[in-house]
Amino acid sequence: MADGMKVVPARKSPLGISRRSLLHRCAICLGVINLPQAWMNLLAAPEMTHHARTEAPVVLGPVPFKYFTPAQAACVEAITEQIIPADQDPGAKWAGVVHYIDLSLAGEFAELRPIYRAGLSRLGELTKAVSDCPFPDLDFAQQTRILEKLQSDAPGTQSSASGQDFFALVRRQTIEGFFGDPKYGGNRDYVGWKVLKFEG
Amino acid sequence: MEQVDAVVVGAGAGGGIVAKELAVAGLRVMLLDRGPSFTASDFGHDELFDSQERWNPHGLRFGPYRGEVQSFRPDSDKPSRVVTPSDADFSAVARCVGGGTRSYQALSWRYHPQTFRLKTLYGVPAGSTVEDWPISYDDLEPYYEKAEYDLGVCGEPGPYGPRRQKPYPMPPLPANREAEVLFPAARRLGWKPFPPPLAILSQPYRGRPACICCPCCLSYGCEADAKSDTAVTVIPEALKTGLCTLRAGTLVREITVDAGGRPNGVVCRSGKGPWQGISARVIVVAASATETPRLLLNSRSKWFPTGLGNHQDQVGRHVNEDQGAVVFGFFDEIVGDSLGPGPSFALDFQFAHAEVPAGGVIYNGFSRLPIRFVDTVPRPEGMKSWGGEFKDFYRRYFWKHIRAYCIAHGIPREGNRVDLDPELRDSDGIRAARVTNRAHAWSFPQQEWLASRAELLLKEAGAKFTIRHPVAREQAGGLGQHQSGSCRMGTDSRSSVTDRTGRVHDVPNVFVADGSLMTNAGGGNPCLTIQALAYWVSDHVVRAWKGGGLNG
């Protein structure tokens, strides 16, 4: 997390400023002289240590989906919002968790796509049994009931995931997308960290 | 063919130490590890990338990595199933230079003298194969000290020992908010809390800086090199001698024997390169309590038809682990802060100070991270693992909870074993390990009693309620990071794999120097004991080398 993006009402460390911010300022004062390599690495801006990682682009405005169709995205978004709903704090929808999931399926975790396909199909079955409306259009309580049914599907096998496996996956990815580093597409504006008052 | 004096298989907690001790003594050493070599600049605080936790979607940062395969079964009369590294029942310690020490919490207890004599003290519970260690605490005490000083361990002696000749090389780390809450509570209960010893620098030491107290210690590599893991301590020292070569990304397939049946080296490959032999006069295996027996069992020849050192069918037997319990306390006030490394409070409830046999330690931990918390916090009865009520719960308690870890002694259970799966091979064509593992019920009362102490403590500290992670009696599952005992030391070769020096029975030039040696698991994290054993074994390797004792 770069300095200048301190959006969390900070719980201050005893020094009154964040550790990374202090070290960054020290780097400017001390220059980088005669320090062991480990300290030199530490005093470098945190971003520099992430050179080996994926860097997702920062996009403003409505974000296009790379993998989901609009209908799929609406469903998945609704599920994520059930898992982490808005209350006095934003929920998964505001945090953009569906974009985290979309990017993961479009990229590194394409192997999870069959679970989403089968799961959304199963969700469709359960929805049809109670309504002609698509899942995202149902009211909150109706959605909750359907997901509880989904979660209690019998566990799947190694070759065939079940509704239960699908729900467990979406839950796991919702947590990742709500609380993980925003560069992966979710945790918009560090909202997940703000909810916990976590400084990073 | 490359020729060295000693090959060390595995550059982890034990292997790194052995490589350095042997190189300092003048042996030419080849130190091999199947995993990568990291430096501090590789490390970050990204829960979705940098962590050694199963919920890291990119996989365990420090391995094992995709491609490895094993089979697991709870008992020998049950079928086994194939498991891969993302499976909770995959048995493993990390796969990298530094091994588990690269990302562990660095708890560095010394075992008590009684831990080495459980059979004498308590007999042999039905269904257990427990034996006394062939060495005593007194034998190992100078090596505990050596490990503490050589690596850099901070601490204060506990109230009940064990006895030590010298103080810790440096004082404990500063208390965090949890310690401020827990110390007075423990004292009010009449207990004697102390700061847990940690292989983390509280002061600059031998060219490395003090810990910066960040919240990413357990499961993360240390960006300050302040965690005294073997990759930043003994391994660089080994390399500095000029006599040690470290080869990361190098997998050992088998230990070879010469025309007379004497082990004479290893076959290994670096990356996807060709399999090559390295010739050596002594071989030290330190690949973990799962992989060390696997390697020995895969080293077959007409002199060792069922595996090196396996004449008595003991390789891989008696594997065991310490047994834990976790209790969370939930408070109405803030009881934590972001000051790492995490554990700052400990209680020693062992032997004379336990109301159960043996017993163990309790300590607090670990530092607060979002996904770690949301994924591991136990919920009150009836609360769903998703939805608004759960959100309310984790939002409320992120800074208002303390978790207490309890670690009880473990003893080996008959039937537990690491052997080879009859059919399964890994992608290199090497026979996969099959792990048969279930805890012995002897640990269960200790776990329950320690958990109840933890509950008392947390309530006294002001917790409004506590929740215990359920502890199953005789829990079956893959071996975790505290795995031990699968090539245990013993005086009787019919029930052990190595002698009291760590030398494989009847194989004078092959030694074991990892957790496999531990005859039972103690009442606390095993790493410092593994490291003391590595120094102990190294001493004996060097003596044998110099005194011609490798010929048997």
Residue A74 has pLDDT above 70, yes or no: yes
Nearest chain B residue (CA) to A10: B338
Q: How confident is the model at residue A2 (pLDDT cuts 50, 70, 90)?
A: very low
Q: Report the pLDDT value the prediction gives residue A3, as an integer from 0 to 100.
A: 34
**CB atoms A13 and B338 under 8 Å:** yes
Mean of pLDDT values over A119-136:
96
Name the residue among A23, A171, A196 with its Cβ closest to that of B370: A196
Mean of pLDDT values over B8-13:
98
Q: Report the pLDDT value the prediction gives residue B9, as an integer from 0 to 100.
A: 98
Q: How confident is the model at residue A54 (pLDDT cuts 50, 70, 90)?
A: low
Please give, rounded to a whole number of angstroms, the shortest distance from the CA of A39 to a CA of chain B.
Answer: 6
Dump pLDDT digits (tens) for B291-307: 999 999 999 999 999 99
Nearest chain A residue (CA) to B334: A11
Mean of pLDDT values over B201-221:
97
Q: Report the pLDDT value the prediction gives residue B549, as an integer from 0 to 100.
A: 80
Buried-exposed string A47-74: b where 16+ CB fall within 10 A, e elsewhere: eebbeebeeeeeeeeeeebebbeeebbb
Using a CB-CB cut-off of 8 Å, the residues of chain A touching B385 are 171
**CB atoms A49 and B391 under 8 Å:** no
B224: amino acid identity, one letter: A
Q: How confident is the model at residue B21 (pLDDT cuts 50, 70, 90)?
A: very high
Q: How confident is the model at residue B14 (pLDDT cuts 50, 70, 90)?
A: very high
Q: Report the pLDDT value the prediction gives residue A60, as an integer from 0 to 100.
A: 56
Is A47 part of the contact surface with chain B (CB cutoff 8 Å)?
no
The pair phi, psi for residue B466, each rounded to 5°, is -125, 155
**CB atoms A181 and B47 under 8 Å:** yes
Q: Report the pLDDT value the prediction gives residue A70, as an integer from 0 to 100.
A: 96
Q: Report the pLDDT value the prediction gives residue A58, as an integer from 0 to 100.
A: 55
Can you tell me the distance from the alpha carbon of B220 to that of A98, in angstroms, rounded to the nearest whole number? 28
Q: Report the pLDDT value the prediction gives residue B490, as an integer from 0 to 100.
A: 98
Q: How confident is the model at residue A128 (pLDDT cuts 50, 70, 90)?
A: very high
Can you tell me the distance from the alpha carbon of B116 to that of B522, in angstroms, rounded to the nearest whole number? 8
Q: Report the pLDDT value the prediction gives residue A51, as an integer from 0 to 100.
A: 34
Dump pLDDT digits (tens) for B269-292: 999 999 999 999 999 999 999 999
Residues 3-42 of A with CB under 8 A from B: 11, 13, 19, 23, 36-39, 41-42
According to DSSP, the residues that pair with B420 across neighbouring strands are B433
Residue A121: count other Cβ atoms within 10 Å of its Cβ.
11
Q: Report the pLDDT value the prediction gives residue B507, as an integer from 0 to 100.
A: 97
Q: Report the pLDDT value the prediction gives residue B550, as an integer from 0 to 100.
A: 83
Can you tell me the distance from the alpha carbon of A192 to that of B1, in angstroms, rounded to the nearest whole number? 56
- A2-11, A61-70, B135-144, B330-339: segment of lowest average pLDDT: A2-11
Do residues B318 and B436 make contact, with C-beta atoms less than 8 angstroms apart? no
Residue B178 has pLDDT above 80, yes or no: yes
Bridge-based pairing of strands B431-436 and B417-425 is antiparallel
Find all residues with CB under 8 Å of B475, minimum gap 6, and list them: B323, B438, B439
Can you tell me the distance from the alpha carbon of B198 to that of B478, in angstroms, rounded to the nearest whole number? 26
Mutate to test the interface with B, among A179, A190, A197 (most CBs of B within 10 A): A179
**CB atoms A85 and B391 under 8 Å:** yes
Please give, rounded to a whole number of angstroms, the shortest distance from the CA of B316 to a CA of chain A.
Answer: 29
Q: How confident is the model at residue A30 (pLDDT cuts 50, 70, 90)?
A: very low
Please give, rounded to a whole number of angstroms, the shortest distance from the CA of B28 to a CA of chain A.
Answer: 28
Do residues B88 and B478 make contact, with C-beta atoms less than 8 angstroms apart? yes
Angle among Cα B23, B105, B451 to the nearest 5 degrees reads: 135
Q: How many CB pairs under 8 A join A and B?
A: 108
Q: Report the pLDDT value the prediction gives residue A159, as an integer from 0 to 100.
A: 67
Q: Report the pLDDT value the prediction gives residue A10, as an integer from 0 to 100.
A: 29
Residues 29-88 of B with CB under 8 A from A: 39-49, 55, 57-58
Bond prior to B341 in cis (omega within 30° of 0): yes
Q: Report the pLDDT value the prediction gives residue B551, as an integer from 0 to 100.
A: 75
Q: How confident is the model at residue A157 (pLDDT cuts 50, 70, 90)?
A: confident
> What SS3 state is found at B362?
strand
Q: Report the pLDDT value the prediction gives residue A34, as an integer from 0 to 100.
A: 33
Nearest chain B residue (CA) to A48: B41
CA A90 to chain centre: 13
Helices (H), B318-387: 370-376
Using a CB-CB cut-off of 8 Å, the residues of chain B touching A91 are 391
Q: Report the pLDDT value the prediction gives residue A154, as an integer from 0 to 100.
A: 84
Mean of pLDDT values over B164-190:
98
Residue A46 has pLDDT above 50, yes or no: no
Four-residue CA torsion sign, B115, B120, B126, B129: positive
Residue (of B19, B32, B154, B33) closest to B93 by Cα position: B33
Nearest chain B residue (CA) to A167: B386
**DSSP letter assigned to residue B79:** -
CA B465 to chain centre: 32
Looking at this predicted complex, what is its ipTM? 0.94
**CB atoms B224 and A42 under 8 Å:** yes
Nearest chain A residue (CA) to B374: A175
Is A94 part of the contact surface with chain B (CB cutoff 8 Å)?
no
Residue A29 has pLDDT above 80, yes or no: no
Mutate to test the interface with B, among A6, A21, A42 (most CBs of B within 10 A): A42
Nearest chain B residue (CA) to A144: B387
Angle among Cα B170, B171, B173 to the nearest 5 degrees reads: 115
CA B121 to chain centre: 25
Q: Report the pLDDT value the prediction gives residue B522, as an integer from 0 to 100.
A: 97
Do residues B385 and B458 make contact, with C-beta atoms less than 8 angstroms apart? no
Dump pLDDT digits (tens) for B452-476: 999 999 999 999 999 999 988 999 9
Residue A14 has pLDDT above 60, yes or no: no
Is A182 part of the contact surface with chain B (CB cutoff 8 Å)?
no
B371 vs A3, higher pLDDT:
B371
Do residues B341 and B213 make contact, with C-beta atoms less than 8 angstroms apart? yes
Q: Report the pLDDT value the prediction gives residue B502, as an integer from 0 to 100.
A: 98
* Residue A95 CB burial class (10 angstroms; 0-12, 13-18, ≥19): buried
Q: Report the pLDDT value the prediction gives residue A55, as an integer from 0 to 100.
A: 54
Distance from first CA to last CA of chain A, Å, rounded? 7
CA dihedral B402→B403→B408→B413, nearest 10 degrees, is: 170
**CB atoms B47 and A180 under 8 Å:** yes
Residue B439 has pLDDT above 70, yes or no: yes
Q: Which two tokens stand for residue B167?
A: 């103080």
Considering only CA atoms, give the Rg of chain A. 21
Question: Which residue's structure tokens are 């060097």?
Answer: B542
Q: How confident is the model at residue A39 (pLDDT cuts 50, 70, 90)?
A: very low
Mean of pLDDT values over A35-46:
32
Q: Which two tokens stand for residue B213?
A: 């107290």
Can you tell me the distance from the alpha carbon of A12 to that of A18, in angstroms, rounded to the nearest whole number? 7
Can you tell me the distance from the alpha carbon of B487 to that of B290, in angstroms, rounded to the nearest whole number? 10
SS (H, E, C) B162-228: CCCCCCCCECCCCCCHHHHHHHHHHHHCCCCCECCCECECCCCECCECCCCCCCCCCCCCCCCCCEC
> What SS3 state is found at A65?
coil
Q: Report the percentage of chain A scoring pLDDT > 70.
A: 68
Average pLDDT, chain B: 97
Helix axes A140-151, A163-179, angle to 10 degrees: 120
Can you tell me the distance from the alpha carbon of B280 to that of B259, in angstroms, rounded to the nearest whole number? 15
Mean of pLDDT values over B124-144:
98
Can you tell me the distance from the alpha carbon of B413 to that of A27, in angstroms, rounded to the nearest whole number? 55
**CB atoms A36 and B209 under 8 Å:** yes
Q: Which two tokens stand for residue A66?
A: 């790379």
Please give, rounded to a whole number of angstroms, the shortest distance from the CA of B97 to a CA of chain A.
Answer: 17
Using a CB-CB cut-off of 8 Å, the residues of chain B touching A85 are 387-388, 391
Nearest chain A residue (CA) to B390: A84
Residue A37 has pLDDT above 70, yes or no: no
Q: Which two tokens stand for residue A109?
A: 């975790």
Can you tell me the distance from the alpha carbon of B416 to that of B290, in angstroms, rounded to the nearest whole number? 12
Nearest chain A residue (CA) to B339: A13
Residue B142 has pLDDT above 80, yes or no: yes
Do residues B409 and B115 make contact, with C-beta atoms less than 8 angstroms apart? yes
Residue A44 has pLDDT above 50, yes or no: no
**CB atoms B370 and A13 under 8 Å:** no
Question: Which residue's structure tokens are 């990291």?
Answer: B38
Q: Report the pLDDT value the prediction gives residue A11, as an integer from 0 to 100.
A: 32
Residues 341-370 of B with CB under 8 A from A: 368-370
The pair phi, psi for residue B405, each rounded to 5°, is -105, 135
Residue A1 has pLDDT above 50, yes or no: no
The pair phi, psi for residue B512, each rounded to 5°, is -115, 140
Residue B148 has pLDDT above 50, yes or no: yes
Is B382 part of the contact surface with chain A (CB cutoff 8 Å)?
no
Name the residue among B207, B387, B395 with its Cβ closest to that of A196: B395
